[in-house]
Amino acid sequence: MTDEQVSQQESDRRPGGAPDAIVPESAAGGQSTLTVWVAFAANLVIAVAKSGAALLTGSASLVAESAHSWADTGNEIFLLVADRKSRRPPEPGHSLGFGREAYVWSLFAAMGLFVAGATVSIGHGIQELIDPEPASDFFVGYLVLALAFVVEGISFLQSVRQARAEAAALDLDMIQHVLATSDPTLRAVFAEDSAALVGVLIAAAGLAGHQLTGSPVPDAIGSILVGVLLGVVAVLLINRNRWFLVGQEADPRVRRATLQALLDLPEVDRVTMLRLQFVGPHQLVVVADVDLTGDDDEPLLAVRLRDLEATVCRSPAVVATTFGLSAPDEPSLQP
């Protein structure tokens, strides 16, 4: 039998192209690495520009924005490591692969944002309130902030494109998807770029306040506000990575789609229990109790269950499956 005939038989056994349709989020992936590289390049260019402008102008807000951009640049390195390590295939001793590495390294990135971004910005702002220093060359500051807004906007648009495509595949609102997605790199880049755009506006307002009033107080307050913004974003990212590290259940819509895909398989009569847990970006473990069609003897049922597990595992989003038999008195799950 040729490979084409085998593929055709497998396709005939799973309607609608399942098991690829088992978990809709498996269609996401693919652009996360590009999104992180775009963000890394953007933040590196901006960090250098802001640092030069901060030294030239003496603006507290620009110092805060410099710390912000350098923190983001370092974070992208963590995210690139997270993306690469999480793609390692399973091996003896790690039968579920290394998907959770993504959440570990993304957690480091979020902590770096908090320490190198938030605390430095807030600390510098407080120092400026205690021991203020005048700023100068305001035009240079505005020019660099305008450049930063454009470059950050380009990076932000890349993360928006990825998030919007993934959200559409799952019939979700884009922001809802960013918060719920199992891909920590997308969430981190989207959140950091959003914060960067807002931070640039805060820094520009602080710089303008310094220029108009002649007082460094608005500039110092701008630095503190940038730090608070980074702190809020960092805590959000830390909390989301923590949830995935301890075992995050799949989104209800993914669960419903998976349940429907299982019920669409000709071997499955009903499903009475279904658990979907993320073990990495777009990587799930599927545990279910099913009632198979027909009335086979126990040895044949065991073989059919193993075949069903193998079928579902062919989905790129499924790392492992465990199927058991439903008891006659157990209620059926409804999509």
Helix spans in the chain (H): 3-13, 32-57, 60-86, 101-112, 120-130, 138-170, 174-180, 184-213, 217-247, 252-264, 298-313
Q: What pLDDT does 138 receive?
A: 84
φ, ψ of residue 94 to 5 degrees: the values are -140, 70
User: Which residue has better confidence, 8 or 292?
Assistant: 292
Q: What pLDDT does 32 receive?
A: 77
Question: Residue 246 carries which DSSP code?
Answer: H
Q: How confident is the model at residue 103 (pLDDT cuts 50, 70, 90)?
A: very high
- Contact between 326 and 271 (Cβ < 8 Å): yes
Cβ partners under 8 Å of residue 213, min gap 6: none
B/e letters for 295-312, b = 16+ CB within 10 Å, e = fewer, are: eeeeeeeeebbeebbebb
Token duo for residue 122 = 């807030």
Q: Give per-residue pLDDT as tens, 152-181.
A: 899 999 899 988 988 887 777 898 889 888
Give the C-alpha separation, 105 to 111, whole Å. 10
CATH number of 3-19+251-325: 3.30.70.1350
Q: What pLDDT does 201 receive?
A: 94
B/e letters for 163-176, b = 16+ CB within 10 Å, e = fewer, are: beebbeebebeeee
Average pLDDT over residues 246-261: 85
- Architecture of the domain made up of 24-247: Up-down Bundle (1.20)
Q: Which of 79, 319, 90, 102 is nearest to 188 (CA)?
A: 79
Cβ partners under 8 Å of residue 26, min gap 6: 20, 282, 315, 316, 317, 318
Q: How confident is the model at residue 323 (pLDDT cuts 50, 70, 90)?
A: very high
Q: Give per-residue pLDDT as tens, 203-225.
A: 999 989 988 988 889 989 998 99
Q: Which of 18, 21, 104, 54 is nearest to 279 (CA)?
A: 104
Domain with CATH 3.30.70.1350 in the chain: 3-19+251-325
Beta carbons within 10 angstroms of residue 183's beta carbon: 29
Beta carbons within 10 angstroms of residue 141's beta carbon: 29
Average pLDDT over residues 274-297: 88
Query: How far is the first Cα of the chain from the last one, in angstroms, to the nearest whole number?
Result: 37
**Residue 12 pLDDT greater than 50, yes or no:** no
Give the C-alpha separation, 177 to 172, whole Å. 6
Q: What percent of the chain has pLDDT over 70?
A: 90
Report the range of poorest mean pLDDT among 9-13, 62-66, 276-280.
9-13
Q: How confident is the model at residue 187 (pLDDT cuts 50, 70, 90)?
A: very high
Average pLDDT over residues 11-17: 39
> What is the average pLDDT value for the chain, to the nearest integer?
84
Domain with CATH 1.20.1510.10 in the chain: 24-247
Note the pTM of the prediction, 2 decimals: 0.79
Q: How confident is the model at residue 17 (pLDDT cuts 50, 70, 90)?
A: very low
Q: Give per-residue pLDDT as tens, 29-43.
A: 456 788 888 888 888
Report the range of poorest mean pLDDT among 13-22, 23-32, 138-147.
13-22
